[in-house]
Chains A and B, each alone.
Chain A
Amino acid sequence: MDIFLQQLINGLVLGSVYALVALGYTMVYGILELINFAHGEITMMGAMVALSVIGALALAAPGLPGVLVLGAGLVVAIPVCVALGLLIERVAYRPLRHAPRLAPLITAIGVSIILQNVAMLIWGKQYLPFPAILPQGRHTLYGASITDVQIAILLLATAIMLLLILMVQKTRLGRAMRATAQSRQVASLMGVDVNRVIAATFAIGSALAAVAGVMVSAYYGLAHYYMGFLLGLKAFSAAVLGGIGNLGGAMLGGLLLGLIESFGAGYIGDLTGGFLGSNYQDVFAFFVLIAVLVFRPSGLLGVRVVERA
C-alpha cells in the first residue's frame, strides 16, 4: 500500500511538471501546427537563469527566507524566457509560416542546438546544484512520504493550469487564441491580430516553461545545460498522448506519463518476474504511448480530424 501511494505521489508531482511543459507544446501546435522543438530548451534556460539569481541572492543576503529567494529567481526567469520565446518566434518561425512543413521543424532543431550551446558556454558543462534554501520538511501520509517541495509543486501547477483554462475560456485573448487555432484566415478577417495572438501564445508557453524548469531543478536539486532535451521530449510525448492541440489533453497526458513512469519504475520488476529492471522505465512509458496511439490515433482527448479529400 505504501509503495503504491508513494509511486502515486511521485508520479503526480512529476506528471504535473510534464503537464506544464506539455501545455507550451500543445498551445503552439494548436495554432501553428508546429512542433516547437526549442521549448524544452526554454525550460532549461528558465532553470539556469533562476538558479543563477538564487545562487547570487543566497550569497549576497544569506538571511533571506528561501521562499522569497525562490520567488526572486522566478521573477527574473519568467521575463527572460518570455523574451526568448518571442525572439525565437520572430526570427526562426514567423518567416517560415508559408514554407514547406518540415522547414520550421529544422529551424526549431537549430534553435534548440543554439540554446543548448549558449547555455553550455555561459554555465559550463557540469551539473549545477540547486542551493539548499527551501524548507526540507517531510510529511508521512499512510506510510508514504511527501516533501514540502512536492506539495508546493503540486499546488502551484494546479493553480497555474486552472488559471490558464480560465484565461483561454473567459478572456478576450483566450477567445482570440481559440479562433486563431480554428482558422487563422477567418480569425484575421474578424479583426483578430493573428501575429499578436501567436506571439502571446509563445509568451504564455515560455512563462509556463520557466516555472516548470525551476520546479524540475528544485525537485531533483540539479540543473544542467542538457536537461531540456529529455524533459522536452517527454513533455511532447505527453502532449501527443493527450491529443496534441488540446489543453485538457496536455494536462491529462502529462499526469498520465508521470504516473506511468513512476509506476513503471516501481512495478516493472515484479511484472516481468525480475527479468526487466527499473532501467526499462522509459521503454515501458514509450510502449504505453505507442499502444495508446495505435488504438486512438489522435491521442486520448484529440478530436478525430476528418480527412479532407
Chain B
Amino acid sequence: MSSVLSLNKTRSRWLTFGLLALGLALLPFLVDAGLGRSWVRLLDLALLYVILALGLNIVVGYAGLLDLGYVAFYALGAYVYAWLSSPHFGLHLPFWAVLPLGAALAALFGVLLGAPTLRLRGDYLAIVTLGFGEIIRIFLNNLNAPVNITNGPQGINLIDPVRLGSFDLSQPHALFGYTFTGIHLTYYLFLLFTLMVIFISMRLEDSRIGRAWVAIREDEIAAAATGINTRNLKLLAFAMGATFGGLAGGLFASFQGFISPESFNLMESIMILCMIVLGGMGHIPGVIFGAVVLTLLPEALRYTGDWQRNLFGHVYIDPADLRMLLFGVALVAVMLYRPAGLLPSTRRRREFADAQG
C-alpha cells in the first residue's frame, strides 16, 4: 500500500517537473503571441534579475550582510565582457572564455570589499558597500582620460553577442521548421544559466556552508563559538554573491550590445534588494517571484493610460510619469500587508508569528 503511494508521489513529482519544463520552454512563444515581442525581451531581463537577486540573496538573505553596492559586481562583469569582446580594444574572445573571467574578477572584488569590512555590521556595512558601489561607478564614468579604458559616460557599444562557433544567438535561426528570433534564443540561454544558479543556490542552502551562513546571520558570536570560521564564510558569501553578479553582468552586456555607467547606479542595487525583501528573503522561490514581479510591474503599469481612458474617458496623467509613483505605492502596500515578503520561508513566517505573539 505504502509503496504504491510513494510510487504515485514520485510519479506526480515527475509530472510536475515535466509540466514546469514544458511551460518554461513554451513561455516565450505564449508571451510573444499574447503580449507581443517587447514582453519576450522583458522576460529575458527578468531572468537576468533572477540571477542577480539570487546572488544578492546569498549575501543578504543567507549570511545577513546588508549589501547596498551589489550592482558594482554586475557592472564589473559587464565591463569585462565589453573589454574582451567588442571593438573597444579590438578583442573578440568567445563568450565561454569571457563570462567566467568576468565572474572571477567580480568574485575577487567581492573578497576585496569583504576583507576590510568584516568587523562592520548592519547599517555601517550598508553604507560602506554603498560607497564601494558608487566608487566603482564614478571610476567607470571617468576612466576615459588620460587613458581611455571605459569610454566614460558614453559607454561601450557594438559588444559581441553570444556566439557558439558560427551560431550567432542574436540572429534568427530556422530550427525544427520554426524560426527562432534572437530574443527567443537568448531566453533559452538565460534560462539555462538561471537554472544553474537556482540549482547552486538550492544545494548551498542545504549544505554545511549554507547552514553556517544562517547561523552567522542569526548570531555571529554563537556561530563563532560553535566552531564556524566566520571570517572565511563571510568572505565566501561576498565572493559567491559577486560571482553571480559578474555572470549576470556579462550576460547583460552580450544581450544589450551596449553598456554605460548609467545602468549601474545605486537605484539598481536598491531595486535588487527590494526584489529579495519583497519576495521573501532567504527563500529561493520567493526571491525568484520577487525578481520577476518587480521587473515586470513597472512595464505593466504603462497600461495605466488605457485604464484612465476606460475609466474617465481621458488620460489625465502621462502613464510614464505615473508608473513609478504606483510602483512606490505597491512597495509600501506589500510590505505593510506582508512584512515577511510575498512568499516567505517557513522559518521566517514562524519567527514573525513569534514576534507578533
Contact = CB atoms under 8 A, between A and B. Distances in A.
B352 A99 contact: yes
A109 interface: yes
B332 A111 contact: yes
**Chain A at the B interface: SS class:** helix
Contacts of A279: 138, 141-142
Interface in B33-61: 60
Contact of A290 (B66, B131, B270, B339): B131
Interface stretch (B8-16, B80-88, B122-130, B168-176): B122-130
A103 B127 contact: no
Interface in B125-149: 126-128, 130-132, 134-135, 138-139, 141-142, 146
Given A109-B274, A298-B124, A103 B335 contact: yes
A118 B127 contact: no
Contacts of B132: 286, 290
A233 B266 contact: yes
B332 A297 contact: no
Contacts of A116: 324
B274 A282 contact: no
Contact of A100 (B221, B278, B339): B339
A80 interface: no
A290 B328 contact: no
A287 interface: yes
A105 B278 CA distance: 11
Nearest to B270: A109
Interface string B247-288: 000000000000000000010001001100110010000000
Contact of B324 (A96, A104, A113): A113
B124 A297 contact: yes
A236 B332 contact: no
A29 B60 CA distance: 21
Given A92-B332, A103-B335, A240 B127 contact: yes
B118 to A, nearest CB: 10
B135 A287 contact: yes
Given A287-B135, A309-B221, A309-B222, A106 B331 contact: yes
Given A100-B340, A110-B335, A240 B123 contact: yes
A244 interface: yes
B124 A103 contact: no
Contacts of A162: none
Contacts of B321: 117, 120-121
Contacts of A117: 321-322, 324-325, 328
A95 interface: yes
Interface in A1-25: none
B283 to A, nearest CB: 12
Interface in B78-125: 116-117, 119-121, 123-124
Interface in A255-293: 275-277, 279-280, 282-283, 286-287, 289-290, 293
B336 A92 contact: yes
Interface residues of B, number: 52
B331 A103 contact: no
Contacts of B340: 99-100, 103
A164 B42 CA distance: 50
A99 B339 contact: yes
A114 B123 contact: no
A289 B124 CA distance: 10
A102 interface: yes
Nearest to A88: B332
B317 interface: yes
B278 A106 contact: yes
Interface string B306-332: 000000000001000110110111111
A100 B124 contact: no
A70 interface: no
Contacts of B281: 100, 102
B280 to A, nearest CB: 10
Contacts of B5: none
A114 B324 CA distance: 7
A299 B124 contact: yes
Given A99-B352, A110-B331, A121-B325, A237 B277 contact: no
B348 interface: yes
Given A100-B352, A237-B127, 7 more contacts: A92-B332, A99-B339, A103-B335, A121-B321, A240-B124, A280-B142, A283-B135
The 9 residue pairs across chains A and B that have the minimum distance between CB atoms: A110-B331, A113-B328, A99-B339, A286-B131, A114-B328, A117-B325, A110-B332, A103-B339, A240-B127
10 contacts: A96-B339, A103-B340, A109-B274, A113-B324, A117-B325, A233-B266, A279-B141, A286-B131, A287-B135, A294-B120
